[in-house]
Amino acid sequence: MKKIVYVTGSRAEYGIMKRLLLALDQDPEVELTIVATGMHCDEKYGLTYKVIEDDGLEIDKLINIDIDTSDNAKILNSMSICQSEFGQYFQNNKFDAVMILGDRYEIFSVAIAAAMHNLPIIHLHGGEKTLGNYDEFIRHAITKMSKLHLASTEEYRQRIIQMGEHPDTVFNVGALGAENSLLMDLPSRIELERKFGSLQKPYFMVVFHPETLTLESPSEQVTELLNALSEFSEQYDFVFIGSNSDTGSDEITEKVKYFCKQTFSRFMTSVTPEEYLALNKYSQGFIGNSSSGLIGIPSLLIPTINIGNRQKGRVRGPTVIDCICASEKISEAIIKSKNKEIVKGENNNPYYQKVVLENILIIIKKFIKSKINLNKDFYDQK
């Protein structure tokens, strides 16, 4: 039996991976281990490791990295704790592969620790561009440490190969998030209202994270967003989900909570993956700068208003309306989102492929059963 460890650091990334993790956990040929770190272990972000346990998945270890988002030096301190803790964890526990998703700073530290222990890394969502955040260079650095690459579009697959990864190790599998929106068993509107209160008034979902590679402060950016939303507060409700633990996120949270008190909007630190998708499904649309607005939400056939540069460079479909982070432009985008032609027709989400989960399972199992070349060469394109 082959042993895979999956390291999860945030509610969003776990939500994407949940169906895959449940499938691996039930596979008789795989022994799955889960380690939770980052936001999962912090009360400020809802202690979301409990969501994983509630889903019936056993967590082998919780690694708290003392997240402090007040400045980049504090983030670097959390990264150093994470790298040290996982360095020791991989010293004491042997696996056939380490599986990680994405681009967050704690996952970067995990990747370094795994690579230094010569553990093969399976990386999902490599090759993507997000020019407004430090996730951009973190993601590409993880790619160079990884042995198997599961890209979400052909453009991203080609970019990974361009970075020197052999084509035989890079697969365009689509995005689990795009499939989750269609296949997860979502709560009904009535079930959501029992937990969160009335949703009878039309509402927008809002998720706004800091841009960490910009001259504008998170406080300035979220002020522009809230000024725009206040123009529509009599017409619509707004349901906010808390920011990721990036530099400056506390500034956003403070202003959002004050706005919610003034307008009777709702703020939720965190929700389950199914609740998040269902809340979006019944909404008028998604507003913010989360990757879910480009990858998963479009499968629900609702509009996404994507603000600023955090997701700049990512592939997007016709349901996404881009605008700069200025209140008047955000207001214009909200009005534009009411055009039913934007979401008309069948699912044309560029991240969606059929049987994503099944294809990923086949590729991963073939990889861990093969003789993995630990001395990876740089693939030069002709």
| Residues 167 and 191 both lie in one domain | no
DSSP state letters, 135-176: HHHHHHHHHHH-SEEEESSHHHHHHHHHTT--GGGEEE---H
Taking alpha carbons only, the member of 67, 63, 64, 50 closest to residue 92 is 63
Contact, 176 vs 16, CB < 8 A?
yes
Q: What is the pLDDT of residue 54?
A: 97
The three-point CA angle 99-144-147 to 5° equals: 45
In this structure, is residue 245 part of a structural domain? yes
Name the pLDDT band for 341 (thresholds 50, 70, 90): confident
Contact, 14 vs 8, CB < 8 A?
yes
- Which amino acid, residue 199? L
Contact, 65 vs 89, CB < 8 A?
no
Q: In percent, how much of the chain has pLDDT > 90?
A: 93
| Residues 220 and 75 both lie in one domain | no
Distant-in-sequence, close-in-space partners of 153: CB < 8 Å, separation ≥ 6: 172, 174, 315, 350, 351
Q: Mean pLDDT for the chain?
A: 95
In this structure, is residue 377 part of a structural domain? no
Q: How many CA atoms lie within 13 A of 245 on its CB side?
A: 32
| Residues 42 and 169 both lie in one domain | yes
| Residues 255 and 216 both lie in one domain | yes
| DSSP H stretches of helix in 7-101 | 11-26, 49-54, 72-92
Name the pLDDT band for 382 (thresholds 50, 70, 90): confident
| Residues 10 and 103 both lie in one domain | yes
Residue 263's H or E segment, with its range, is helix 249-263
| Residues 77 and 135 both lie in one domain | yes
Name the pLDDT band for 347 (thresholds 50, 70, 90): confident
| Residues 169 and 216 both lie in one domain | no
| Residues 221 and 293 both lie in one domain | yes
In this structure, is residue 17 part of a structural domain? yes
The number of residues in the chain equals 382
| Residues 197 and 298 both lie in one domain | yes
For 264-310, how does the pLDDT look when each residue is reduced to its tens digit (9 = 90+)?
899 999 999 999 999 999 999 999 999 999 999 999 999 999 999 99
Contact, 297 vs 316, CB < 8 A?
no
For residue 162, pLDDT over 90 is answered with yes
Contact, 65 vs 38, CB < 8 A?
yes
Taking alpha carbons only, the member of 96, 100, 89 closest to residue 2 is 96
In this structure, is residue 239 part of a structural domain? yes
Mean pLDDT over residues 108-133, rounded? 97
Tell me how far apart the alpha carbons of residues 189 and 192 are, in angstroms, rounded to a whole number.
Answer: 5
| Residues 162 and 203 both lie in one domain | no
Which of residues 132 and 224 earns the better pLDDT score?
A: 224
DSSP state letters, 191-248: HHHHHH----S-EEEEE----SSSSS-HHHHHHHHHHHHHTTTTT-EEEEEPPPS-TT
| Residues 20 and 104 both lie in one domain | yes
Distant-in-sequence, close-in-space partners of 254: CB < 8 Å, separation ≥ 6: none
Mean pLDDT over residues 205-233, rounded? 94
Contact, 226 vs 255, CB < 8 A?
yes
DSSP β-ladder status, 121-124 and 266-268: unpaired
Tell me how far apart the alpha carbons of residues 100 and 5 are, in angstroms, rounded to a whole number.
Answer: 9
Residue that the structure tokens 């704790």 belong to:
81
For 13-70, how does the pLDDT look when each residue is reduced to its tens digit (9 = 90+)?
999 999 999 999 999 999 999 999 999 999 999 999 999 999 999 999 999 999 999 9
- Which amino acid, residue 323? C
For 172-211, how does the pLDDT look when each residue is reduced to its tens digit (9 = 90+)?
999 999 999 999 999 999 999 999 999 989 999 999 999 9
Q: Which domain holds residue 58?
A: 2-174+353-369
The dihedral sign for the CA sequence 57, 58, 64, 65: negative
Q: State the total domains in the chain.
A: 2
CATH number, domain of 241, equals 3.40.50.2000
| Residues 213 and 263 both lie in one domain | yes
Q: In percent, how much of the chain has pLDDT > 70?
A: 100
For residue 161, pLDDT over 90 is answered with yes
Name the pLDDT band for 346 (thresholds 50, 70, 90): confident
